[in-house]
Amino acid sequence: MLLNSIIANMSLVLFFIGLWGLLVIRRTLIVMLMSIEIMLLALSTMFVNASSILDDITGQLVALFILTVAAAESAMGLAIMISYYRLTGSIELNSITTLKG
């Protein structure tokens, strides 16, 4: 039971680190992508932990789905970042309005 509590607290701390990085440190697109990845990984860790506590496989399946969504989000984010870098020459988010359609 102590290990589950430690894992839950670690997941909560990681989620808030990712949230802080997303809301406070909004300098570059890479920092925002890493913050979202940290939040998704913390969430999937929490689902696996809950699945272990409840002795049910549903949490592990949801965690697998979250990891799939995180991989797709990362690939799309990196593609957008590369196209933005080719357009502007930097990845700072000060002039992100360039990509408006």
Map out the domains of the chain with their CATH numbers: 2-99 (1.10.287.3510)
pLDDT of residue 83: 86
pLDDT digits (tens, 9 = 90+) for 44-68: 999 999 999 999 899 899 999 999 9
Residues 6+ apart with CB under 8 A from 9: none
Task: Tell me the Ramachandran region of residue 55: left when phi exceeds 0, alpha when psi lies from -120 to 50, beta otherwise.
Answer: left
Closest of 93, 76, 97 to residue 28, by C-alpha? 93
pTM tops 0.95: no
- CA torsion sign for 29, 30, 34, 40 is positive
Report the alpha-carbon distance of residue 96 to residue 37 in Å, rounded: 21
pLDDT digits (tens, 9 = 90+) for 72-86: 988 998 898 888 888
Which whole-number Å values give the CA distances from 53 to 1, 48, 76, 81, 99, in the listed order?
Answer: 8, 9, 34, 39, 45
